[in-house]
Amino acid sequence: MWNGIVTTMFSGNRRYLALWLPFLPTDRLHRQRRRRSSLGAGPADLPLVVLRRVNNALCLAHVDQRGLDHGLMPGLTLADARIRMPSLITVDDDPAADRVLLDHLADWCDRYTPLVGLDGPDGLMLDITGCAHLFGGEQVLRDDMTRRIAAMGFTLRSAIAGTPDAARALARFSEGGICPPGAEAHAVRPLPVRALGLEEETILALQRAGLVTIADLADRPRKPLVARFGRDLVERLQRVLGEVDHPISPRRPVPVLMAERRFPEPLVRRDDLLATLTALGEELALLLERSGLGARHFEAGFFRADGQTRYIDVVTARPLRDADALGCLLSERLAGLADPLDIGFGFDVIRLSVRAVEALAPAQIGFDRRGGEDEAVLALVERLAARFGTARILGFTPGDSYLPEQAARLEPFLPQAAGSSAAWPEALAGEPPLQPLRLFDPPEPVETIAEVPDGPPKRFRWRRVVHEVAAAEGPARISAEWWRTAPGTEQDALTRDYFRVEDRDGRRFWLYRDGLYARETDRPRWYLHGLFA
């Protein structure tokens, strides 16, 4: 079990685990072939190469281990490769599929630490600071990860060191292993200068100067190296030697709080899954209460025994630390998934994380432990959002515009339910509404007759019905928003004069004249924008 506050603050004893999958594309293809069982025993023994077109020639982009044993290597043309090995299994390069697979492996590695980053097209970097003791130490963690990834069908080399660059260099240019804290400078000395990750031109220049290994660079003064090869060389050298740390960029946001359960035997019953989530919610509720916080965004992670990973989110309308309410929302979310959660062979890790928090002070409640009407509405909105998704639960927010049709916007309700900076204008007590709650979109044109061109209408025709005006109030003038109007266009470029009118039958309308007579137009047009209830 792991729970508590996750922090990314730098400390002097950070530890990084670098993973390198040298045959990622070919391992992916071998896995697919084994899964589909489309080839017999004979063709399966042939080398597999991945082709990429370079300058109108098919070249080998990736070669599996069997191909390397037969003298094939990346960069050879397909014609040269067939001379060395006439029978080959060739597949076109698919970088997108390789990236999807690497992302999948990164999600799987999240079971070991929430700080997982990509390291090139064939590697991962894990910040395991403070995590190794949960698995019995760094050696046990590394062995467990290596065993599981090998069981998936991947070739892996890994190394642990105090900086990402040192771990990467040891994983890719040595046999890997665990470098004790502070021993990075000694461990990387025999490695070639290519382990610094420099440009090919710089590597060639170093080799011509007789600087072949990292030891050759480490033993030389830094200023002459900067003068000849640039500052980037020295900065990379310092990071590989463990002198400077360069934190990784995690793929996923780092949670504020998290709690998890690990099971010696995979969890296969849905009731046990919900009970586990409830227990994790209670642990997080205690942590939130101690910190005076409430959560606005929860994330549940399910790590299946066969390597599949699934995440679900729950967003709340107000800061929450009630375990029962959270359990209800998680249950609704699981029940409303369009792609139901597949337990498969069972989950060996379940994690509940808090992604966003807000301050939550204690509040006085009634003896029945029930909140007010607003709390009940927010609770209903949360359950609907958990069932149908936050994008389907919309609410009106104030718009920064004087035009009535742009004064409100429909947006997802939950992200702006609490703490919104925008506020609705306050209505005066006892005053009738200045405009209808519902407007026509677009406003409907009407034909009017007025005593004077810039006065209120005396009669108007709307939808082939003539209405005699008994009373009118206005005008309420809204000037054009010239800063929003493109030059040369007439849309929203005229001044509007709004009138509240009532016909002889008591029906009330909201009309406006588009354009000032004799100043903006000679023939102002009238529109009906809404009806008063």
Both tokens of 171, joined, read: 């994983």
Residue-range domains of the chain with CATH = 12-21+98-240 (3.30.70.270), 257-388 (3.30.1490.100), 439-531 (no CATH)
Residue 5 is predicted with a pLDDT of: 41
Nearest in space to 274 (alpha carbons), one of 321, 324, 316, 338: 324
pLDDT tens digits, residue range 118-134?
999 999 999 999 888 88
- Residue 386: band (very low, low, confident or very high) from pLDDT cuts 50, 70, 90: confident
Name the amino acid, one letter, at 232: D
CB 241 within 8 A of CB 188: yes
Q: Which residue has the tokens 């040192």?
A: 166
Model pLDDT, residue 434: 81
Q: Is 3's pLDDT higher than 60?
A: no
Confidence class for position 416, pLDDT limits 50, 70, 90: low
User: Residue 496 forms beta bridges with which residues?
Assistant: 478, 514
% the chain with pLDDT above 70: 89
Write the pLDDT tens digit of every residue in 505-517.
999 999 999 988 8
Give tens-digit pLDDT for 77-114: 999 999 998 889 999 999 999 999 999 999 999 999 99
Enter the DSSP assignment of 358: E
Does the pLDDT of residue 452 top 50, yes or no? yes
CA angle 16, 19, 21 (to 5 degrees): 170
Mean pLDDT of the chain: 86
HSE, side-chain direction, 13 A CA sphere, residue 106? 23
Give the residues across from 126 on adjacent strands: 17, 116
Using DSSP, state whether 331 is helix, strand or coil: helix
Q: How do 257-267 and 347-359 pair as beta strands? A: antiparallel
Q: How is residue 426 written in tokens?
A: 């306050």
pLDDT tens figures, 388-408: 877 788 887 777 777 888 878
Q: pLDDT-derived band of residue 6, with 50, 70 and 90 as boundaries?
A: very low
Judge whether residue 4 has pLDDT over 80.
no
Q: How far is CA 443 from CA 49, 508, 520, 521, in A?
A: 65, 16, 20, 19
Parallel, antiparallel, or unpaired for β 89-92 and 48-54? parallel
Among 223, 214, 208, 151, which residue's Cα sits nearest to residue 187? 214
d(C-alpha 305, C-alpha 177), whole Å: 26
Q: Across residues 217-246, what is the average pLDDT?
A: 91
Question: Phi then psi for 353, rounded to 5 degrees?
Answer: -120, 155
Residues 116, 121: Cα–Cα separation, whole Å: 14
| Interior/surface letters 12-45, b for 16+ CB within 10 angstroms, e for the rest | eebbbbbbbbbbbbbbbbbeebeeeeeeeeeeee
User: DSSP letter at 175?
Assistant: -
Look at residue 362 and tell me whether its pLDDT is greater than 80: no
Cα–Cα distance, 373 to 253 (Å, whole number):
34
| Residues shown for the chain | 533
Nearest to 442, CA basis, from 501, 512, 393 = 512
Report the predicted TM-score, pTM, of the whole model to 2 decimal places.
Answer: 0.74
What is the mean predicted confidence (pLDDT) over 13-23?
94
How far is residue 285's CA from residue 279's CA, in Å, rounded to a whole number? 10
Burial class (CB in 10 A: 0-12, 13-18, 19+), 424: exposed
Give the per-residue pLDDT at 22: 95
Q: Among 387, 391, 429, which Cα is nearest to 411's?
A: 391
Question: 323-335 and 270-291 helices cross at what angle (nearest 10)?
Answer: 140
With beta carbons less than 8 A apart as the criterion, state whether 495 and 478 touch: yes
Res. 40 pLDDT band, cuts 50 70 90: very low
Confidence bin at 379 (pLDDT 50/70/90): confident
pLDDT value of residue 26:
95
pLDDT for residue 72: 93
pLDDT in tens, 143-186: 999 999 999 999 999 999 999 999 999 999 999 999 999 999 99
pLDDT at 39: 44
pLDDT mean over 5-21:
68
Q: What is the pLDDT of residue 2?
A: 47
- Residue 20, strand partner residues: 123, 157
Cis bond upstream, residue 95 (ω within 30): no
Three-class secondary structure of residue 220 per DSSP: coil
Is the separation of the CB atoms in 409 and 415 below 8 Å?
no
By CB atoms closer than 10 A (0-12, 13-18, 19+), residue 93 is middle
> DSSP label at 132?
G
Q: Could you tell me if 257 and 287 are in contact, meaning their C-beta atoms sit under 8 angstroms apart?
A: yes
Residue 261 has pLDDT above 90, yes or no: yes
Question: Could you tell me which residues are beta bridge partners of residue 54?
Answer: 57
Q: Output the pLDDT for position 37.
A: 62
Between the alpha carbon of residue 106 and those of residues 72, 93, 110, 483, the distances in Å are 30, 21, 7, 48
- Sheet containing 48-54: give its strands across: 57-63, 48-54, 89-92
User: How far, in Å, are 253, 383, 441 from residue 393 at the CA level?
Assistant: 25, 10, 21
Q: How confident is the model at residue 486 (pLDDT cuts 50, 70, 90)?
A: low
- Supply 515's token pair: 């354009």
Structure-block tokens of residue 485: 């109007």
> Above pLDDT 90, what percent of the chain?
56
Q: Please write the tens of the pLDDT for every residue from 269-280.
A: 988 999 999 999
Q: Find, among 505, 435, 519, the residue nearest to 467 by Cα.
A: 505
Q: How far apart are CA 197 and CA 237, in angstroms?
A: 10
3-12, 129-138, 386-395: least confident range: 3-12
- Residues 329, 379: Cα–Cα separation, whole Å: 9
Q: How many CB atoms lie within 10 A of CB 204?
A: 11
Would you state the pLDDT for residue 256?
92
